[in-house]
Amino acid sequence: MKTAFLLILFFQVSYTQNYHSPDNRKLFADHLFCAQDYLRAIIEYEECLNHFDNDTISFKVALGYSRIGNYNEASERFINISGQSEFYYTSRLEYLKSKIFLEEYNSISNYQQDSLKINELKLMNLSNLLSNNDLFERDKFLFPFNDREKPEAINFYDWKKYPPYKSTLLAGVLSSIIPGSGKIYADQLSEGLTALVLNSLFAFLSYNNFKHDHNFRGWVFASVGAFFYGGNIYGSVSAAHLYNSKMDYEYKKDIKQFLESNNYFIEDYDFCN
């Protein structure tokens, strides 16, 4: 009986020790990673890295951080992947991708490697469009893109160089001449027509009351009309600003959708099949 108890205890201890061994923790981490439980997978992988170096594990830790949206940590991990690793070049692309998500475009423009490859240049050039930095020369910008990608790249470049903005000055001037016309110019048709009707209405009411010697009411309608007239000019300038902000938002969204549709020019890799 005593012998049987000791054997059971021995196997329990052996099982527990085996379960917590680095190799088994790695297997468990792989399971968590493939189940998309990236945070717990990272914890298990980090424990494995305390016992042995493994480029694949280091890459999967960085990738896990990226997939949970912790791009600061992901970028730090990707940039530190060993130059001898099979994932070294992919890590460089993932680093640039993380910086795009973080909108740290200056970090991308200062990115230096001994030899930049085509896909790195694509990410750097597109990030140049998203930044406030000086625009690259056209030939330099288009150089890395292939024939399939080039038409969209040209459209993005031309938009950045000649953005289809509305002039805030022109919007204000138009509405000072014809109330509401500045808003119509800024693509706010209904608001512009409303401003035209209201300003015309108060102008008519003021004129009509003065004409019939109702001076007090004439001044009331004139004052209200002047308020609406000034608001119409200010609103037209604001409408042009809003239009330009919308154009910027749509432009950046289109570039990011282009990047996503091309998987940020990173080759697919699957650790779970």
Q: Nearest to residue 241, comparing CAs of 201, 203, 160, 187?
A: 187
pLDDT in tens, 197-233: 777 776 767 777 776 776 777 687 667 767 767 778 8
Contact 198, 183 (CB under 8 A): no
Domain extent listing, the chain: 22-80, 88-162, 168-256
Contact 222, 244 (CB under 8 A): no
pLDDT in tens, 140-192: 999 999 999 999 999 999 999 999 999 999 988 888 888 888 888 888 888 88
**CB neighbour list of residue 263: distance below 8 Å, 6 or more residues apart:** none
Please state, in angstroms and as integers, the Cα–Cα distance from residue 198 to each residue in 107, 172, 180, 189, 209, following that order. 51, 17, 9, 14, 16
User: Is pLDDT at 255 greater than 90 in this prediction?
Assistant: yes
Cβ count within 10 A of residue 133? 13
Question: Distance between CA atoms of 203 and 227, rounded to whole angstroms?
Answer: 11
Read off the pTM. Answer: 0.81
User: Is pLDDT at 4 greater than 60 in this prediction?
Assistant: no
pLDDT value, residue 5? 44
pLDDT value, residue 222? 67
Cβ count within 10 A of residue 125? 20
Question: Distance between CA atoms of 232 and 65, rounded to whole angstroms?
Answer: 50
pLDDT in tens, 6-64: 444 444 544 445 556 778 888 898 999 999 999 999 999 999 988 888 899 999 999 99
Contact 81, 58 (CB under 8 A): yes
Alpha-carbon Rg for the chain, nearest whole angstrom, is 32
pLDDT grade for 122, boundaries at 50, 70 and 90 = very high
Residue 172, CA atoms < 13 Å, CB-side half-sphere: 8
Q: Which CATH number fits domain 22-80: 1.25.40, 2.50.20, 3.90.180, 2.60.120?
A: 1.25.40
Question: Distance between CA atoms of 197 and 29, rounded to whole angstroms?
Answer: 68
User: pLDDT higher for 237 or 201?
Assistant: 237
pLDDT value, residue 18? 59
**HEC string for 84-97:** CCCCHHHHHHHHHH
pLDDT value, residue 2? 47
pLDDT value, residue 191? 83
Residue 168, CA atoms < 13 Å, CB-side half-sphere: 10
pLDDT in tens, 80-91: 999 899 999 999
pLDDT value, residue 153? 97
Structure tokens at 165: 């903005």
Q: Nearest to residue 227, comparing CAs of 247, 199, 186?
A: 199
